[in-house]
Amino acid sequence: MRLRFDDYSLDVARHELWRGSEPVVVEPQVFDLLAYLVQHPERVVTRDELLQAVWDGRIVSESAITNRVNAARRAIGDSGEKQRLIRTVPRKGFRFIGAIRIEAVEPAKEAVPQGPPRRQGIALAFAGAVSGLLGAAIAAFLLWPGAGHPRVSMHSGRMPTTVSAGDLRLPVAVLPLTALGSNTDQPNLTASLTEDLRTELSRGWLVASRATTSAYLGRAIYAAQIGRELGVRYIVDGSVERAGSQIRVTARLADAETGAYLWTDHYDHAAGHVLDLEDEIVGRIVTAVRKALVMREADHAGETSDAARLIWRGYAQLKMAASPKGYAEVAQLFERALEIEPGSVSAKIGLANALATSAVGHFGTKDIDSLRRARDLIDSALATAPNSALAHYSKAKVLQAQGDCQDAIGEYEMMIALDRNATNAYALLGACKLMTGTIAEVAPLEERAIRLDPMDPFLGAYYQRIGMAELLQSHIDQAVSLLEKARTAYAIRQNEGIYPANSWLAAAYALSGDTRRAETH
């Protein structure tokens, strides 16, 4: 059964949303929420009802519900202002008001997938004697590094393990985190962190659904077995433990074939506001896992096409490049990938990023031809993948390189809306705010980037921008402290950015009255 409305069709059984002949990528919770509203049209669905249907009765914040509703609206071309299809009923809930047409699907296409059962968060009544739930359906999400919404087969309980340049999303399983200790709040917090981790990692990877992974809770199972049963290449697991006023979350990333851990870390946080705790810890885990996966794929041949291997290497080096020569080498990798697969959106996005970054030289000189090519590449990529977070990021970098910071701000904000753990987007949005004179907004953005990735190779630039903002607001002592941090971070990495940091630091010392230090910088 397929539900049609406006230009869209919703296939609940397969967990698919389509606009015409093109798939629309949505998060699992967003899909469940939209499906529930569409299946209960012309009546008010209360927030409590949504909590039960989509979150299994788990208590979440009002903002979490609002964010998911807004995401559902964006997926079907609606907005909170228009409310063309999803209407908000103040203090009551939400109502789907679109005209719905029910369309039967050919039996061959409606076959139950083979694989572990997937428990949907919404109630579906089927005619006839149906003995079990439908098999697992794996949703496709935004690519990181991103190609937007390339097609992925939804008709198997196992995820695809062969990676091509057209679809770089890696199949990952997030196992339920283990609650350690006897604290009564521990299971709820553990379940909540697991759900958030699964949701955030879905922005770029093929993440196995909660129903398919919940069966592994508390079971000692080899990674290779999980990899075979779920068809995943990587596994994320961990634990949550509370000791007094502190909470420690341990997370690990394992290779599903060998069982070897590729990355592991733990995060300590004061037990206070639960949503702040989840936001902070989940953001750091997601950032670290993404980085580890990109680096792993860049070094690991596996079942990967030649073009895909070049693209992975390009994105890995893009994270580390800090000189014109480095960006030129990155651009060559993406150029070679495009020679093999000219239509690769991932390669176009990466090449536009590298060209935009390298096009601006010392003293504001610009390589106009490189910027023009970067703009053509990113326009082509966005025409194919309008919901790609990384495409919007690369477009923002092109606009910023062209000196159009005002329009770049909108693109960085779009990336953050699509991926709230986009470290570099926060940092460069802060740079644009600095350039356009919105000084007070710089520090929170740069600090968010620092919290997401305290080991970021460009940490010096983040501290420098905060220091510059503080100096421009006449907060001299704070500026000196931050610019000293920037200089240290640059020096550790032997980054050429140390020189502008020194210039600002000299100015800060001079304004503080310390002329001796000012002269030495």
Nearest to 173 by CA among 129, 131, 217, 134: 217
pLDDT at residue 415, as a whole number: 92
pLDDT at residue 156, as a whole number: 32
- d(CA 90, CA 78) in angstroms, rounded, equals 18
- Enumerate the β-bridge partners of residue 10: 3, 17
Query: How does DSSP classify residue 491?
Result: H
- d(CA 164, CA 146) in angstroms, rounded, equals 13
CATH 3.40.50.10610 segments of the chain: 171-299
pLDDT at residue 516, as a whole number: 81
Is residue 5 a contact partner of residue 42, using CB atoms and an 8 Å limit? no
Query: How does DSSP classify residue 448?
Result: H
∠ CA 148-67-166, nearest 5°, is: 10
CATH 1.10.10.10 segments of the chain: 2-103
- d(CA 105, CA 262) in angstroms, rounded, equals 43
- Cis? peptide before 500, omega within 30° of 0: no
> Domain 433-521 carries which CATH code?
1.25.40.10
* Torsion over CA: 149, 147, 427, 442 (sign): negative
Q: Residue 363, by phi and psi: left (phi above 0), alpha (psi -120 to 50) or beta?
A: left
- The full DSSP string for 133-188 is PPBP-PPP---SS--SS-----S-SS----BBTTB-PPEEEEPPPEEESS-TTHHH
As a whole number of Å, the end-to-end CA separation of the chain is: 70
> Domain 171-299 carries which CATH code?
3.40.50.10610
pLDDT at residue 253, as a whole number: 94
pLDDT at residue 506, as a whole number: 85
Nearest to 424 by CA among 397, 405, 443: 397
- d(CA 307, CA 88) in angstroms, rounded, equals 46
The tens-digit pLDDT sequence of the chain (521 residues) is 688 988 899 888 778 888 887 888 777 788 889 999 998 887 899 988 888 888 777 766 676 788 789 889 988 989 888 889 999 988 889 999 988 888 765 544 333 333 333 333 333 322 222 222 222 222 222 222 232 333 222 223 344 444 444 557 788 989 988 888 766 566 788 888 888 898 888 887 778 777 777 777 766 667 888 888 888 889 999 999 888 788 899 999 999 888 889 999 999 888 777 777 788 899 999 999 999 988 888 876 555 568 888 999 999 888 877 677 788 889 999 999 999 999 899 999 999 999 998 887 654 567 888 899 999 999 999 998 888 899 999 999 999 998 899 899 999 999 998 888 989 999 999 999 999 999 999 999 999 999 999 988 888 899 999 999 999 999 999 999 999 998 888 877 655 555 567 788 888 888 888 888 877 76
Q: How many residues does the chain have?
A: 521
- Enumerate the β-bridge partners of residue 252: 237, 264
The CA–CA distances, whole Å, from 303 to 52, 206, 233, 290, 297 equal: 41, 16, 10, 19, 10
pLDDT at residue 380, as a whole number: 93
- Which segments of 300-367 does DSSP mark as H helices, in order? 306-318, 324-340, 345-359
Would you identify the CATH topology of the domain 2-103? Answer: Arc Repressor Mutant, subunit A (1.10.10)
- d(CA 189, CA 51) in angstroms, rounded, equals 17
Is residue 397 a contact partner of residue 409, using CB atoms and an 8 Å limit? no
Nearest to 418 by CA among 161, 112, 71: 71
Is residue 307 a contact partner of residue 297, using CB atoms and an 8 Å limit? no
Query: How does DSSP classify residue 76?
Result: T
Is residue 190 a contact partner of residue 218, using CB atoms and an 8 Å limit? no
Which helix (DSSP H) or strand (DSSP E) does residue 392 occupy? Answer: helix 389-401
The encoded tokens of residue 292 equal 């580890």
Q: Which residues, other chains included, contact 429 with Cβ-Cβ below 8 Å and sequence gap of 6+?
A: 409, 412, 413, 416, 445
The CA–CA distances, whole Å, from 479 to 430, 474, 504 equal: 16, 8, 9
